[in-house]
Amino acid sequence: MTKTIAIVGAGSGLGLSIAKQFGANGFQVALIARNKASLDKLAANLKSGGIEACGFIADVRDEPSIVAAFAAIKARFGSVDVIEYSPISMEFIPPSAVTTEIAKKAFEFQILGAISSVQQVLSDMMKNQDGAILLTGGRSSIVPMARMGSLSPMAASLRNYAHILNEELAEKGIYAGTITVCCQITPEIANDIAALYWDMYQKRNRVEELVGEDIRIENGFPIRF
């Protein structure tokens, strides 16, 4: 049976690279984002390379749209075997300027969107005793960044979520992992991350990888070297 990967926050950079990596290994690709024109372009790009792909419109801050998108994905492709979550937001707000409303929006984008997306696929994964959840984060998840006062705490929460998901679900046959990206995502870096995710998905022997900076994780804490 052909497997399916759903990429939440799919774009022409990292999302496309991940789609091509998994698609080249036999996966169907469900692309999820807010812009239909962008989704259509991405799907056409993948189809030209012989990868079955389709776009589905959703906003990660709008749970009903996520629910509807995954219902449409299941109707088109069947159950989702791998989900990757990597919507990008670059809001430079100092911590002192973060209001509860700003924090709520960042929480919805970074955490609630991820949780809602995972919930759409988890029951099938539990039933099949197989699947993978890939959550992509940034440098502020391990190194607090004051200039990203609204997103830094949420990025840390997303990283934490990946770790505790893996702790709970590994014995049930479901892998959860995260890549923390500590650099600008160039086309080359995007391809490297995609290849790394494929390796993590296959081996399932570590929860986290860091890309792009002289930091490693020891016992859950960032260490410079």
pLDDT in tens, 189-207: 999 999 999 999 999 999 9
The tokens of 119 are what? 């919930």
Q: What is the mean pLDDT of residues 37-54?
A: 97
- Cite the DSSP H helix spans in the chain: 14-24, 36-48, 63-77, 100-107, 113-128, 152-169, 187-203
The per-residue pLDDT for range 94-103, each reduced to its tens digit, is 999 999 999 9
Top-confidence residue, 136 or 221: 136
User: Percentage of the chain surpassing pLDDT 90?
Assistant: 79
* Rounded Cα distance, 225 and 222, in Å: 10
Residue 89 contacts residue 155 (beta carbons within 8 Å): no
- In the predicted model, is pLDDT for residue 28 greater than 60? yes
Residue 59 contacts residue 178 (beta carbons within 8 Å): no
pTM: 0.92
The per-residue pLDDT for range 59-95, each reduced to its tens digit, is 999 999 999 999 999 999 999 999 999 997 777 899 9
- In the predicted model, is pLDDT for residue 135 greater than 80? yes
* Rounded Cα distance, 77 and 218, in Å: 39
* Rounded Cα distance, 53 and 41, in Å: 11
Q: Is 212 exposed, middle or buried (0-12, 13-18, 19+ CB in 10 A)?
A: middle
Mapping DSSP to helix (H, G, I), strand (E, B) and coil, where does residue 221 land? strand
- In the predicted model, is pLDDT for residue 225 greater than 60? no
User: Percentage of the chain surpassing pLDDT 70?
Assistant: 95
* Rounded Cα distance, 84 and 137, in Å: 11
